[in-house]
Amino acid sequence: MDKKYDIVIVGSGISGMSLAYYCAMEKLNVLVLEKSDSMGGSFTTVNSDDYWLEMGAHTMYNSYGNFIEIIEGCGLKEEIIQRKKVPYKAFKNGKIRSVISQFSIPELLVSIPSLFSIKKDDQTVESYYSRIVGKKNYKKFFQYMFNAVPSQATNDFPADILFKKRNRRKDILKSFTFKQGIISIIHAISRIPGIDVVTGAGVLSISVGKDSYQIKAENKEIYNSEYLALAAPVNVAAELTRSFVPEISEEIKKIESVLTDSVGVCIEKKDVNIKEVAGIIGINENFYSVVSRDVVEDENIRGFVFHFEPGKLDNPSKIEFICKVLNISKDKIKDTFYVQNTVPSFKLGQKSIVEEIDTLLKGNKLLLTGNYFSGMAIEDCVSRSKNEFSRIKY
C-alpha cells in the first residue's frame, strides 16, 4: 500500500537529517530513505567493543552556529566533550616528523603579510596560499596539509571553500565531539516525533504526479510525498534527477566528484609506541592523512583512521603500510574497518553552477542539499539544508 508523507528525503547524512530536523520542528511528516544499512553518510562512527572511532567527519567547532542549534534542540548539549589538545605530525620518507620541520619559517615570515592584501575571490587554493606561505613552502608542505582536509588534491579548489570565518559561540567548547561519537546527533534526530527513517531502501525510480512525487524504493515500497529532497552524493543526485528534471541533472553533472578510501584500525594502547597525535599529514605518500582517536583518550585502546589515495594500494598493502607508519606488526591490530565515500571536488566556477541550479529549483517542490553547494564542512551542509527548508510552504 502506498504511503504518504509531507516530504521524503533521500539520504541520511547530516544534510538529510538536518533538513529532517527543520521539517519535524514545523510538524511536517517526514520520511528519510537511506540506501545503506545504517544512517549517517560521512558521519561514520564505528565500534570495537566499547571503543568508538570516526571513519569520516570527526570534529565539530563552536563556529558551527546552525549545527549547534540542532544539538541543543535534540538535547545533546550535555553530551559534548572536549577534544584533547595533542599535536599534528607529518609523515615523510618513512618517518614521523614534526610539522614545523617541514617548511621554512623565514619564507613564511616574509610571505604571510600578503594575507592582509590578497583577496580569495577567483583564486585557487594554490594561487592564493602559495603567496601567503611562500611558493617553496606551499610545494614542500602546505599543499599536503590542505589535501588532508577533504582527502583529495586541493590545488584547484576555490580558495574560499576550505576555511571560512564564522561567528563563534563562546559558551561552547572551541572544538568538540560527543561522548559516544559524532553519530550521536544522527541518532538523536532520527528519534524526533514525525521522522521515520528506513535503511536499506535505495531509490529505484522517481515519478512526478500533479500534486505529489512517487518514490519507488529497493525495499519494494512506494512512497508518496508533496515535497522531495535529495541529500545524496553529487553523482547520485545527478542520476536521480535525470528522468524528471534533466536540466537540473545536467548542471549537477558539471560538479566533479572523487572517492575517499578510509581504513581504520584499533590497537591495544600498550602495543603502540608513537606519541599521541591529533593526526598525521602524508607528504608525497599514498595517504592524505591519518586521524587519531587520541583526542579522546581511552585507557586501553588507540585508534587511527588512514585516508588513502584511491586506487594506489590494495587492502593487504594498506594494512602493511599502516603497520609501517605505526611501527607495529599485523597481529597487534585488534579491529579493522573499511569505508568509502563519494565527495565533491570543487573547482573555480562552481558558484555559477550552484546559482543556475538554484534558479532552476525556483517554484519547484524539489529540494537539493548536500556537501557540493558551498562547502564540505558540517556547517555548510546544515546551512544549505536550512536554506532549502525555507522554500517549503506549510
As a whole number of angstroms, the distance between CA 306 and CA 393 comes to 44
Looking at residue 394, its amino acid is: Y
Residue 23 CB neighbours (<10 A) = 27
pLDDT value, residue 88: 97
Read off φ and ψ for residue 149, nearest 5 degrees.
Answer: -65, -55
The closest alpha carbon to 22, from 194, 144, 143, 261, belongs to 194
Architecture per CATH, 258-343: Alpha-Beta Complex (3.90)
Domains of the chain, by residue range, sit at 3-82+174-255+346-389, 258-343
In order along the chain (394 residues), what is the average pLDDT of each group of 10 residues? 85 98 97 96 95 95 97 96 95 96 97 92 95 97 96 95 91 95 98 97 93 93 96 96 96 95 97 96 96 96 97 96 96 97 94 97 96 95 98 84
Q: Residue 211: what pLDDT? A: 85
CA-based end-to-end distance of the chain: 26
CA nearest to 312, candidates 333, 291, 284, 349? 284
Burial environment of residue 91 by CB neighbours within 10 A (0 to 12, 13 to 18, 19 or more): buried
Q: How far apart are CA 335 and CA 266, in angstroms?
A: 5
Q: What is the pLDDT of residue 1?
A: 46
Q: Which residue has the cell 564564522?
A: 166
pLDDT value of position 380: 97
CA pair distance 43, 67, nearest whole angstrom: 14
Whole-number pLDDT of residue 2: 60
Contact 134, 145 (CB under 8 A): no
pTM: 0.95
pLDDT of 163: 87
Q: Which one of 3.20.20.70, 3.50.50.60, 3.40.640.10, 3.30.70.1450 gives the CATH number of domain 3-82+174-255+346-389?
A: 3.50.50.60
